[in-house]
Amino acid sequence: MPEGLEVEDIPSRRLELLAALRSSPVVRMTRHPWSQSSTLEGGPRPELVFSRAPGPLFITLESGLVIGASSQPSLISVTLWLASALDRTEAHLAVEAGDPMLSEPRFARLLGRRAASITVLVRQPENAKWEARPREVGVVVGFDGAREIILAHGLHDDSDDFAVLQRDDVEPSLWPRLHEVRVL
C-alpha cells in the first residue's frame, strides 16, 4: 500500500483501500460506538447497535489489512483510512457484525465474502455551501453471493450520522438526490 493511506479521506481518494476489498475476503466487521450510552437508553434498538450506533467501523480482511470507515459532517462524506492497532484499541466497546444481540444476521452473512463491485453515492448539492464539498455520502459494496452493504453518511435519517446499511435501510426520499458512480 502506498504511504498516506492512514490519513482519513473521502472514498474517491482511497481507491487503493476499496480495491483491497475486492482482493481479499472480509473476515471481521467491528463497530466501535463512541460510548456505552449509545447502546443503552436513547440509542438504537439493541439489534441496530452495529448498524446505527455512532462510531467508526473497522473491516478486517483475510490479508490482515484493516480498513477504517466513518464520516465527516464538514465534508458531507463517508471517510476511509488504513486502520492501525491503536485505532481499534482506543474504543471501550466493540460490536461485531455477528453479535446475536447487537447486530442483525444479515451483516454476519457478509463475512468470508469478497467484494464484487464498489459504487460511491454522491449526493446532489442542497445549497451553495454544499457545492464545494465532496458529498460522497455512501460506499456501496456488493459481495459475491450476498447482499450489498452501504457505508453511509446520514442516508438512513438524513442526518450527519455514520451508519452501516443495506439498500432497504436508506431513507426512500433520498434516492432521487443520489448519483451512483461505479469505482471498482
Mean pLDDT of all residues belonging to the chain: 90
> What pLDDT is attached to residue 79?
98
Q: Is residue 114 part of a domain?
A: yes
**Buried b vs exposed e over 32-66: b needs ≥16 C-beta within 10 Å?**
bbeeeebbeeebbeeebbbbbbbbbbbbbbeeebb
Q: Is residue 28 part of a domain?
A: yes
Specify the higher pLDDT residue, 34 or 43: 34
Determine if the pTM surpasses 0.85.
yes
Mean pLDDT value of segment 5-25: 93
Mean pLDDT value of segment 45-51: 92
Q: Is residue 3 part of a domain?
A: no
Mean pLDDT value of segment 157-180: 95
User: What pLDDT, in 10s, does the model give residues 111-134?
Assistant: 999 999 999 999 999 999 999 999
> What pLDDT is attached to residue 78?
98
Q: Given pLDDT bands bounded at 50, 70 and 90, which one contains residue 3? A: low
Q: Is residue 2 part of a domain?
A: no
Q: Is residue 146 part of a domain?
A: yes
Residue 17 lies in domain:
11-182
User: What pLDDT, in 10s, does the model give residues 146-155?
Assistant: 889 999 999 9
Q: Is residue 19 part of a domain?
A: yes
Domain count, the chain: 1
